[in-house]
Chain A
């Protein structure tokens, strides 16, 4: 079943690539704006041999990883604190609901004012977008603590810190993992956006350069690279999730009793 699905998936992808080759060749769309698959592949091959491409890729990944790490760390710490300290959740709920929907791209002018085209601009946008994803999931996750589990921990004299470590954190972990996976995807989008719009060094800036210099196949090749990055990030996040949550019913599957 799994093999059949993989074969179907590969066939679908091949058909898509063939369509991308045929449609411009047949003159159905302008080849200037929609180069055939083979020319994009050619451009991709040229990119891969270019040192500047790898520097740009490294810059994008640095902004992504650093921003994501800050957002995840801050999201978890703030989320647990807000949930554990009495009345803090009620006091912050409306502020969070106000700040959360602000689109991160709306902060681009502020980022430029503060950091220009430095890494700081990318980080500001990435952290702002990814932080809320993690925070909201942590807040939900902490609420999910089973009262019986909590009472069990209390009856055995576990202190506040031990209860956070052994009960609250494992309960919230599935939610945290979902938050991290969503945040990882959003962080990549914002990293590329920041580079594209502000001109901070990275794949986004390289896409902008390719566009202004009419290097259309190169532009597509770079877009393909960002797509592949997103795919890899999602697969990686899911693998980490499965490993960390082997005990969880969503992962462990049916068990014979």
Chain B
């Protein structure tokens, strides 16, 4: 579904030349939930913006369902970390969710249906008339997720979406993403700096190196499909996986060690 080949991004400005992403190649299969995790400052956001067509890569290509991405593609939705700035304060919740649909060729009744359905799936069926700033942080991020759902994307890109909410809300939102992913069969690429979150959510975790970024390791998460905050997080296998990813990130920070690929840790 999503094919990233040799992606490279170099920022140039005011005499400084920063190579944020050196060479990234990975794929995400249709209906897969993949988490990208890496040390802070490793260019995760840059990578996701290149994938989403918001930034022009310096080299390399991104393909969505076989078509080259050269601008925000219609089948892709983006959920930003800064929900407070990503939602428009001058529009009510319902209008915020509906706005992207106005670019699609849909009837008014179909738009209403999609908005109501998306808000119901995130548990905010009766918030359509409120303004985003009247809601709590977690609810605002749910609105942003509902906006993405209503858009009916093939691929959902999420850029550290829960970094700014409290721990309890975060757990709820993680379960929400898992549930929506399973219900709707969307392909999800989820960027996070939180190792536990990556292992808990993902079917696969891609560990990135420190900047300039390459793929350090791709790890299949062989936890059961049914996950929940209580049992999954205390399962021995969860602990093994998170320890493994943690070690990889620490090694990445030191910049040491050879880059291994596609090696699931021994049981």
Interface residues of chain A, those whose CB is within 8 Å of chain B, are 146, 148-149, 151-152, 154-159, 162, 166-167, 170, 173, 247-249, 252, 255, 257
Asked whether any CB of chain A lies closer than 8 Å to the CB of B136, the reply is: yes
Contact sample, A vs B, 24 pairs, CB 8 Å cutoff = A146-B85, A148-B80, A149-B86, A149-B88, A151-B54, A154-B54, A155-B72, A155-B77, A156-B72, A156-B78, A156-B100, A156-B103, A157-B72, A157-B74, A158-B100, A162-B102, A166-B99, A247-B131, A249-B89, A252-B131, A255-B133, A255-B134, A257-B134, A257-B137
Q: In the complex, what distance in Å separates the CA atom of A248 from the CA atom of B88?
A: 11
What interface size band does chain B fall in?
20 to 34
Known interface pairs A152-B80, A155-B78; A257-B136 also in contact (CB < 8 Å): yes
Interface residues of chain B, those whose CB is within 8 Å of chain A, are 49, 52-54, 72, 74, 76-78, 80, 82, 85-86, 88-91, 99-100, 102-103, 131, 133-137, 147, 151
* Residues of B contacting A152 in the complex (Cβ-Cβ under 8 angstroms): 78, 80, 86
Known interface pairs A156-B72, A156-B151; A247-B89 also in contact (CB < 8 Å): yes
* Residues of A contacting B88 in the complex (Cβ-Cβ under 8 angstroms): 149, 166-167, 170
Known interface pairs A152-B80, A247-B131; A157-B103 also in contact (CB < 8 Å): yes
Beyond A170-B91, A257-B137, 15 extra complex contacts between A and B, CB < 8 Å: A151-B49, A151-B78, A152-B86, A155-B52, A156-B100, A156-B103, A157-B72, A157-B100, A158-B99, A166-B88, A170-B88, A170-B90, A248-B89, A252-B131, A257-B135
Q: In the complex, what distance in Å separates the CA atom of A20 from the CA atom of B88?
A: 52
Q: Is the CB of B82 within 8 A of A162?
A: no
Q: Which residue of A lies closest to B92 (CB)?
A: A247
**Main secondary structure on A side of the interface with B:** helix
* Residues of B contacting A249 in the complex (Cβ-Cβ under 8 angstroms): 89, 133
Q: How far is the CB of B65 from chain A (nearest CB, A)?
A: 16
Known interface pairs A151-B80, A166-B88; A156-B54 also in contact (CB < 8 Å): no
Q: Is the CB of A154 within 8 A of B90?
A: no
- Tell me how many residue pairs across A and B have CB atoms closer than 8 Å: 67
* Residues of B contacting A248 in the complex (Cβ-Cβ under 8 angstroms): 89-90
Which of B86, B100, B131, B136 sits near A148, CB closer than 8 Å? B86
* Residues of B contacting A151 in the complex (Cβ-Cβ under 8 angstroms): 49, 54, 78, 80
Q: How far is the CB of A26 from chain B (nearest CB, A)?
A: 57
Q: Is the CB of B90 within 8 A of A247?
A: yes
Q: How far is the CB of A197 from chain B (nearest CB, A)?
A: 43
Q: How far is the CB of B240 from chain A (nearest CB, A)?
A: 36
* Residues of A contacting B82 in the complex (Cβ-Cβ under 8 angstroms): 148
Q: How far is the CB of B178 from chain A (nearest CB, A)?
A: 23
Q: Which residue of A lies closest to B140 (CB)?
A: A257
Q: How far is the CB of A231 from chain B (nearest CB, A)?
A: 30
* Residues of B contacting A146 in the complex (Cβ-Cβ under 8 angstroms): 85
Which of B77, B133, B136, B137 sits near A156, CB closer than 8 Å? B77
Q: In the complex, what distance in Å separates the CA atom of A247 from the CA atom of B86?
A: 15
Q: In the complex, what distance in Å separates the CA atom of A71 from the CA atom of B99?
A: 31
Q: Which residue of B lies closest to A167 (CB)?
A: B88
Of A156, A166, A170, A249, which is in contact with the most chain B CB atoms at under 10 Å from its CB? A156
Q: In the complex, what distance in Å separates the CA atom of A151 from the CA atom of B90?
A: 17
Q: Is the CB of A149 within 8 A of B85?
A: yes
Known interface pairs A166-B99, A252-B133, A257-B135; A155-B76 also in contact (CB < 8 Å): yes
* Residues of B contacting A167 in the complex (Cβ-Cβ under 8 angstroms): 88
Q: In the complex, what distance in Å separates the CA atom of A248 from the CA atom of B151?
A: 27
Q: Which residue of B lies closest to A159 (CB)?
A: B103
* Residues of A contacting B76 in the complex (Cβ-Cβ under 8 angstroms): 155
Q: Is the CB of B54 within 8 A of A155?
A: yes
Q: In the complex, what distance in Å separates the CA atom of A166 from the CA atom of B88?
A: 9
Of A247, A249, A255, which is in contact with the most chain B CB atoms at under 10 Å from its CB? A247
Q: Which residue of A lies closest to B95 (CB)?
A: A166
Q: In the complex, what distance in Å separates the CA atom of A162 from the CA atom of B91?
A: 14
* Residues of A contacting B77 in the complex (Cβ-Cβ under 8 angstroms): 155-156
* Residues of B contacting A149 in the complex (Cβ-Cβ under 8 angstroms): 85-86, 88
